[in-house]
Amino acid sequence: MPPRSWSAKRERQYEHIKEGLEDRGRSEDAAEEIAARTVNKERARAGEAKESSRTSTDDISSGRRGGLRSHRGSGGRTRDQLYAEAKRKGIEGRSKMNKAQLEKAVGR
């Protein structure tokens, strides 16, 4: 349960994050902890918390960090996915390229 000191907006944010994590396979306990930490960090960044750590206020925001990491998986696209894109773009020499070279060649 979210703390009573949170605003209605923060409670909705907590529930949204928690449900998303549970949908992705996290346990209820883990989802609750991650959601609470995320909401508390956002509260600290917005000046709503009485106390906040330096990393909470100086670090990249949770939303921005999630956006930067979305759709990448653990290591981005696979070599086969990059190869297929290189093939679609007609890049020469793609069969001899490794993953890093393919990433550079397709430009992403």
* pLDDT per 10-residue tile (average), the chain, 108 residues: 78 93 91 91 82 72 66 71 90 94 86
Cβ 39 vs Cβ 10: under 8 Å: yes
Say how many C-beta atoms besides its own lie within 10 A of residue 97's C-beta: 18
- Residue 54 confidence (pLDDT): 72
- Residue 76 confidence (pLDDT): 73
- Residue 16 confidence (pLDDT): 94
- Residue 24 confidence (pLDDT): 86
**What is 1-17 written as a DSSP string?**
---TTS-HHHHHHHHHH
Structure tokens at 77: 């696209």
- Residue 1 confidence (pLDDT): 63
